[in-house]
């Protein structure tokens, strides 16, 4: 009988948690971007391999929250550490004072924790990895310290074997064709948000939420007609998202549609709308309504 269990992926923003989740599962489950705080809620991604089932939980990067959205993100990350079999703490640089925040939470849970040093493809010399390892030594009784590259999928066999030690023999939790807990709507909304994260700068990416308003099968054209709403916090941001002569919105729509078509093997007809909801990130009720609450 194979093993199965839950593995939470935690770490600071932008260290490559979601990239690692996608690479381990072998499918784009979570969106990724070079901007910090890309992931906003817990996302489950499941890998079935050799009778074993790895249930990974990707979390928002842990940071000191400054608004309701940030508080919910932080809560989601912390709560994802309860009741799991093992934690992957992902880092990409030597230990700093700012890591104590996560270290203390890991100590509090006391779970088996594997320190995953990511982005080793970016390091110039082997001694750079050693420097990171040494800086984390003695901070916690890590089960293992494993350098990886989520981008190149290096040392994944070693990582999966280290995780397997903490999973349990028994029936699998999910059917084999179940890869994520996200609904199709949520995944589509996230893919649209990802394109916005790439296309915009400064405060705009952080101020954006995306909701799927309607989704209908168009039998005549054999398409799925999707209307999505992009919400921003200010009129100026709405102007940026729409762009001169609507160019920006068109670009976001084209990129999102292409990827949605590919991932879901569907022909989607996507219409994007933009709306301003002033300071929505500071309003707990709105944060929940946009899908980032409890
Ligand atoms: N070179 C390199 N870049 C990587 C690797 N893993 C992730 N990245 C890049 O790092 C950036 C952040 O990746 P994400 O996966 O979005 O990071 P995250 O930790 O999920 O970020 P948050 O959701 O904001 O907490 C992206 O630009 C990725 O392409 C890696 O192994 N090598
Ligand atoms: Mg992420």
Q: Residues with beta carbon inside 6 Å of ligand 1?
A: 11, 13-19, 32-34, 36-39, 60-61, 118-119, 121-122, 149-151
pLDDT reported for residue 178: 95
Q: Tens of pLDDT along 144-184?
A: 999 999 999 999 999 999 999 999 999 899 999 999 999 99
Ligand 1 atom 7, closest CA: 16
Domain spans of the chain, in order of start:
3-169, 184-292
What is the pLDDT, as a whole number, of residue 283?
Answer: 96
3-169 and 184-292: identical CATH topology: no
Ligand 1 atom nearest residue 35's Cα: 24
Does 29 have pLDDT greater than 80?
yes
Is the per-residue pLDDT at 195 higher than 80? yes
Report, as an integer, the average pLDDT of 200-214. Answer: 96
Does pLDDT of 91 surpass 80? yes
- 1 — pLDDT class (breaks 50, 70, 90): confident
CA of 44 to the centre of ligand 1 (A): 17
Residue 204: CA atoms inside 13 Å, Cβ hemisphere, count?
22
Pocket test for ligand 1, best of 19, 62, 70 (most atoms within 8 A of CB): 19
Q: Measured from the CA of 36, which atom of ligand 1 is nearest?
A: 24
**CB contact at 8 A, 169 and 2:** yes
Q: How confident is the model over 224-237, as pLDDT tens digits? A: 999 999 999 999 99
* Probe residue for ligand 1, chosen from 10, 16, 76 as the CB with the greatest number of ligand atoms within 8 Å: 16
Distance from C-alpha of 116 to C-alpha of 34, rounded to nearest angstrom: 19
Give the mutation target among 8, 9, 13, 14 for probing the ligand 1 site: most ligand atoms within 8 A of CB: 14
Q: Please give the pLDDT value at position 278.
A: 97
Strand extents, DSSP E, the chain: 3-11, 43-49, 52-58, 86-91, 113-117, 144-147, 168-169, 209-218, 223-232, 268-276
Q: Is the pLDDT of residue 79 over 90?
A: yes
Instruction: Report the percentage of the chain scoring pLDDT > 70.
Output: 100
The conformation of residue 290, written as its DSSP 8-state character, comes to I
**Residue 11 counted as an annotated binding residue:** yes
Per the prediction, the chain carries an average pLDDT of 96
Predicted confidence (pLDDT) per residue in 238-274, tens digit: 999 999 999 999 999 999 999 999 998 889 999 999 9
Q: Domain 3-169 classified CATH 3.40.50.300?
A: yes
Name the residue with the closest Cα to ligand 1, atom 16. 32
Question: Which of 3.40.50.300, 3.30.300.20, 3.90.850.10, 3.60.10.10 would CATH assign to domain 184-292?
Answer: 3.30.300.20
pLDDT confidence band for 65 (50 / 70 / 90) = very high
Q: Average pLDDT of 41-47?
A: 98
Residue 294 has pLDDT above 80, yes or no: no
């Amino acid at each position: 009988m194979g093993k199965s269990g839950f593995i939470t992926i935690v770490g600071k923003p932008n260290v490559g948690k979601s990239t690692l989740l996608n690479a381990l599962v072998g499918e784009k489950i979570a969106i990724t971007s070079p901007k910090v705080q890309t992931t906003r809620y817990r996302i489950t991604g499941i890998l079935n391999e050799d009778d074993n089932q790895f249930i990974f939980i990707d979390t928002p990067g842990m940071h000191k929250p400054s608004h309701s959205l940030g508080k919910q993100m932080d809560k989601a990350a912390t709560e994802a550490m309860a009741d799991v079999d093992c934690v992957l703490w992902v880092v990409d640089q030597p230990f700093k004072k700012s890591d104590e925040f996560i270290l203390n939470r890991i100590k509090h849970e006391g779970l088996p924790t594997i320190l995953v040093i990511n982005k080793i493809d970016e390091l110039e010399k082997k001694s750079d990895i050693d420097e990171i390892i040494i800086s984390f030594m003695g901070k916690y009784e890590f089960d293992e310290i494993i350098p990886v590259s989520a981008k190149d999928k290096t040392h994944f066999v070693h990582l999966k074997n280290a995780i397997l030690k903490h999973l349990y023999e028994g029936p699998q939790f999910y059917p084999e064709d179940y890869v994520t807990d996200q609904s199709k709507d949520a995944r589509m909304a996230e893919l649209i948000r990802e394109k916005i994260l790439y296309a915009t700068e400064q405060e705009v990416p952080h101020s954006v939420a995306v909701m799927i308003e309607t989704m209908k099968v168009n039998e005549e054209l054999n398409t799925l007609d999707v209307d999505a709403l992009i919400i921003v916090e200010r009129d100026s941001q709405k102007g940026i998202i729409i762009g001169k002569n609507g160019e920006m919105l068109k670009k976001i729509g084209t990129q999102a549609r292409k990827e949605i078509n590919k991932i879901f093997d569907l022909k989607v007809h996507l219409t994007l709308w933009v709306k301003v909801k002033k300071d929505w990130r500071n309003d707990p009720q709105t944060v929940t309504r946009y899908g980032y609450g409890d």
